[in-house]
Structure 1
């Protein structure tokens, strides 16, 4: 798992990731979570040598008492108990199991609900700064005029720089009708805006008709939440009314979500009796099989020709659907090998302190394949553009003549993609300096040949727009569908 985890961290820092990253969910933490009858709670299943004894419990109590009596400051009982529970789960060494304190548990549950209470803004962490991707139309953020690429510096006077996503979400979200004061940076100016929080719909599915092929519908599923099935039904129905005769189902950079949502959606693509997936857990004699059944998972079916798009950011529930399609139908998977997360997490032991998210089972494809750490290979491999793997330019650092590092390598990819040709791959030479000056002049920036500040922001923004317009995986999908329709 170490190799996959390292690769995933790198992906989350690339330009590709912030095309889809939502404030309500992190692409670096793919999860599948549900509660099913196959879970066990019988203590007799614990081996004798691993059962807790009175002496074990006494040792824990002695450490607790020693801290309470001898530590130089007061420590709350809840903090110590939560710390002990977190430490116990951390000892497993499983990146997908964790003990969630009460605050983390609330945020985690909200990620998969139909709505949440907040201001309605999608953001990414760009070089430690909360950078707006876009406000959601009709929400407090949208109505207040917050724009893409605005930087949220503070929330109610608390600096947000270098916080993690959960910390930012906990500060910006809040009860409906409560206020939050944000300090916004836009280009070189800063200003405050007071927003009244509202109930925000958690939209996980979007769709549109292709700009050049009016019979091709493009559907993007960002995660698998409580409302995803209904959103997908509504989106497909609307695209059919608009003339869609074939569909591109885009699961790229989808980190997963709820297992029951994956089953409901997987059922859309299959005939009754086709196997969607299997679950193999520790104490069961055989795997539990989940087969397509409209009475169990819904009667809505996708009848049009379709293809699925996957990439290295497609994980967990996304892979369940992709494997079900690949092993049961003739539809094609296009893109790159998926992430490779073949485990199931379950929420257990809820209490006032929090709850346990524990890896409780493996999931297998219909053909008994365990894709963990391996991923699903597409039927048609289409690599993304080289610039898609480039790192974001850091506006707080300076790249200039003579510098050689991974950011210079990314700068070279960016400049070449935008039409400013450079030969050097990882050394900031005079040719690269001239290209930067040309870029700055063309975009009304200070022409000094250095990449920092507004030049860094402009490069990030323009490359993001370039990638939105130049998508070889999507273009291959359109080509395949149009060819099949014409045939």
Structure 2
């Protein structure tokens, strides 16, 4: 597989790996001529709108995406901060429209904080594998240690991957010299083995107890790291099966002509398995709550009594998670209208029982806040960590 970037497209691609940019924060790949979502980066318009791994982006502002290149789609999706973009998304057998407001998407790749209940646990999220991710991770771990952290939860959820060099450098932090991080294999050739080596990748090591969080948005470089941990150590992967992207791309600079992005090899796990389209199974399987898969409610559309559609099903997921009683999850009946009115009363909104405008926005915000405090995968990771089997 190859893809040519002209000079303008080349600059946009390079910026996506190193600087902030303005867009919606979605990572996708071309599969069968369609744009398939790998992940929506956390706290971006795409994640707030509820985009999920394996969603298909059918169109952008009315332009069909079938058989378009990655760069053509990036041009359509990106735009000035504050501008709106309309996507048609296909999920399973149904399609729906989402409207998003573009924002600045920062390309820092690591965030860290101490657990609110137990300050000896640091939650470190690797957002993507960019140019400086290994150094960012090293600094985050050092700072967490200074702040009293004695164990770590490393979060690879919705991490679409990135640079192979960073996956190798980070894998080296967790493994002993000689442990295999991954193998790559070009067509017709024997595999090339990449092993942990302090002389090559540095001597910074993470020796405290730790677990990793993974899900269906963990892809590519994040899967390389997850597989290295799973096959070399006794530390757990908590969450859901990963995305399954087992190819290696290389970008060749063609000077003033632009760049050529080539799929040059497949990568294999330390034991030699190819996880492409298969993913990596967690050692401790935990599904997120159903509302985590809910789609953002539309500000412009209206959901009201008497309707029965995907929007109503989506609304039911949200209302139930927020603690409102319902009888039907597929039909907007009297009980659902009463639940909406109760929510509106709680938020000081007009109590008309319809979901549109400010009510839709308030429900979306309430859902985001709910998920922040009801992360069952993170809670399980804490439980597993405290059991003492990940030292």
TM-score, structure 2 normalization: 0.80
**Distance in 1, Cα, partners of 2:294 & 2:127:** 22
In the alignment, is residue 394 of structure 1 matched against residue 294 of structure 2?
no
**Distance in 2, Cα, partners of 1:269 & 1:183:** 43
Structure ID, larger Rg: 1
Alignment RMSD (CA, Å): 2.8
> 350, 362, 367: which is aligned to 2:266?
362
Gaps of 5+ in 1: 1-93, 126-131, 136-147, 150-159, 173-181, 185-196
Alignment of 1:399-478 (within 5 A): 399-478=303-382
In the alignment, is residue 224 of structure 1 matched against residue 90 of structure 2?
no
SS at match of 2:308: coil
Which residue of structure 2 aligns with residue 139 of structure 1? none
1:137-194, CA deviations, whole angstroms, 9 ceiling, x for partnerless residues?
xxxxxxxxxxx99xxxxxxxxxx9779664464545xxxxxxxxx679xxxxxxxxxx
Does the 8 A contact of 2:178 with 2:195 survive in 1? yes
Which residue of structure 2 aligns with residue 271 of structure 1? 176
SS at match of 2:145: helix
Gaps of 5+ in 2: 27-41, 50-59, 64-72, 85-103
**Distance in 1, Cα, partners of 2:44 & 2:253:** 37
Question: How far does residue 274 in structure 1 lie from its aligned partner after superposition?
Answer: 0.2
Which residue of structure 1 aligns with residue 239 of structure 2? 335
In the alignment, is residue 251 of structure 1 matched against residue 175 of structure 2?
no
SS at match of 2:388: helix
**Distance in 2, Cα, partners of 1:325 & 1:485:** 14
**Distance in 1, Cα, partners of 2:311 & 2:16:** 33
Which residue of structure 2 aligns with residue 383 of structure 1? 287
> 298, 315, 320: which is aligned to 2:219?
315
Which residue of structure 1 aligns with residue 144 of structure 2? 239
Question: How far does residue 202 in structure 1 lie from its aligned partner after superposition?
Answer: 3.4
Alignment of 1:11-90 (within 5 A): none
How many residue pairs get aligned? The number is 336
Does the 8 A contact of 2:172 with 2:196 survive in 1? yes
Alignment of 1:59-138 (within 5 A): 97-113=2-18, 115-116=19-20, 123=24, 133=43
In the alignment, is residue 344 of structure 1 matched against residue 287 of structure 2?
no
Does the 8 A contact of 1:102 with 1:354 survive in 2? yes
Q: 1:417 to 1:371 in 2, by over 3 A?
A: same
Which residue of structure 1 aligns with residue 57 of structure 2? none
Question: How far does residue 104 in structure 1 lie from its aligned partner after superposition?
Answer: 2.4
**Distance in 1, Cα, partners of 2:43 & 2:215:** 21
**Distance in 1, Cα, partners of 2:43 & 2:130:** 21
Which residue of structure 1 aligns with residue 385 of structure 2? 481
SS at match of 2:213: strand
